[in-house]
Structure 1
Amino acid sequence: MQYDKSFKEEALKLSDEIGVKAPAAQLGIPYYTLSGWRNNRKKYGADLYCGSGHKQMSADPVEQRIRELEKENAELKHANEILQEALGFFAQRRKK
């Protein structure tokens, strides 16, 4: 389920005042969801989430480039693993 930004902010304020369990029960949301919002706020700050709850993308071109390179790096590592497995397979066939 998606929660808007104002709902999250109010839930977080309430959880700051009286803890996590009671507000989660009062608002009808899972305890772990509210706990996760609190952890994200602590880790990333209060303005991390837009209304849909998705992480806002930074306008900083350096951060965008870093994300692109991290994604490309992960894809290349995966391709490398596949090639290494294939090399091992063909090396075994050749020995026979």
Structure 2
Amino acid sequence: MQYDKSFKDEAVKLSDEIGVKAAAAQLGIPYYTLSGWRNNRKKYGNDYLCGSGHKRMSAKPSEQRILELEKENAELKHANEILQEALGFFAQRRKK
């Protein structure tokens, strides 16, 4: 079953107040599901509810910077490929 972010956040807050087992029983969700959300919060901080299919950003600034640079590098490689293809096209056209 899919749960939205606000439900997950409120469930984790409730589990902080009354305990994981009690909160899971009160909300009608499996204990291990709520426990997993709490473990993710402990591991990733505020970004523990990134959502399905989304890449979770690291809490460390150095790791975030590396990810930004990798993304920029990929964009520049793609732009370089486009420019090389254009150069080949114009060079071929000039020979005619």
SS of residue in 2 equivalent to 1:45: helix
Q: Which amino acid is the alignment partner of residue 39 of structure 2?
A: N
User: 4+ residue runs of structure 1 moved beyond 6 angstroms?
Assistant: none
Considering fraction of residues, name the structure with more helix.
2
Tell me the TM-score normalized by structure 1. 0.56
- C-alpha displacement of 1:62: 2.6
C-alpha contact 1:49 1:56 (8 A) present in aligned 2: no
Q: Percent identity?
A: 71
Tell me the TM-score normalized by structure 2. 0.56
Residue matched to 1:31: 31
Q: Which protein shows a greater Rg? A: 2
Residue matched to 1:11: 11
Could you list the runs of 5+ residues in structure 2 that have no partner in the other structure?
A: 58-63, 71-96
48, 54, 57: which is aligned to 2:55?
Answer: 57
Seen in structure 2, the aligned counterparts of structure 1 residues 56 and 28 have a Cα distance that, compared at 3 Å, is: same
Q: How many residues matched?
A: 64
RMSD value over aligned CA atoms? 2.6
Structure 2 residue 27 is matched with structure 1 residue 22: no
SS of residue in 2 equivalent to 1:46: helix
C-alpha contact 1:11 1:23 (8 A) present in aligned 2: yes
Seen in structure 2, the aligned counterparts of structure 1 residues 45 and 38 have a Cα distance that, compared at 3 Å, is: same
Residue matched to 2:78: none
Distance in structure 1 (CA, Å) of the matches to 2:17 and 2:53: 25
C-alpha contact 1:48 1:55 (8 A) present in aligned 2: no
